[in-house]
Amino acid sequence: MSKSGAPRPAIFRPCLIIWPTWARKFRHEFTLGLIENEEEELREIDAALERLEKGTFGTCERCKEAIPRSRLKIIPTPKLCIECKRGEEHEPPTATA
Ligand SMILES: [Zn+2]
């Protein structure tokens, strides 16, 4: 069951160039018309930018596997791979303030 566990950042190189520009533009647009729901999105973007700086962007936070590019195209700020995300959805939600 062990695939190569090592993340391959080279795969994400095009993302690393295009994505931050896109994210900052996106973030700016969000800041202009901020509502509660968008605030959540903003946090996601900030967290993703942070992961980008740390070099962990594109790596699943739970299983540490590389998140497939196909997923990054759909959701640009994923913390988890599809399998871990599915697992999370089956768990009861953590305290909703
Ligand atoms: Zn995962």
Centre of ligand 1 from the C-alpha of residue 83, in Å: 6
* pLDDT at site 2: 45
Dist. CA 44 → ligand 1 center (Å): 17
The answer to whether 15 and 67 are in contact (CB under 8 A) is: no
Domains of the chain: 9-90 (1.20.120.910)
61-83 pLDDT, tens digit per residue, is 999 999 998 888 888 888 999 99
CA of 97 to the centre of ligand 1 (A): 26
| Distance from the alpha carbon of residue 46 to the mean position of ligand 1, in angstroms | 20
Q: What sign does the CA torsion over 10, 75, 71, 93 have?
A: positive
One-letter amino acid for residue 62 of the chain: R
Residue 34 is predicted with a pLDDT of 58
Choose among 11, 10, 7: nearest CA to 66: 7
pLDDT in tens, 25-74: 777 766 666 555 677 777 888 888 899 899 999 999 999 999 998 888 88
* pTM given for the model: 0.53
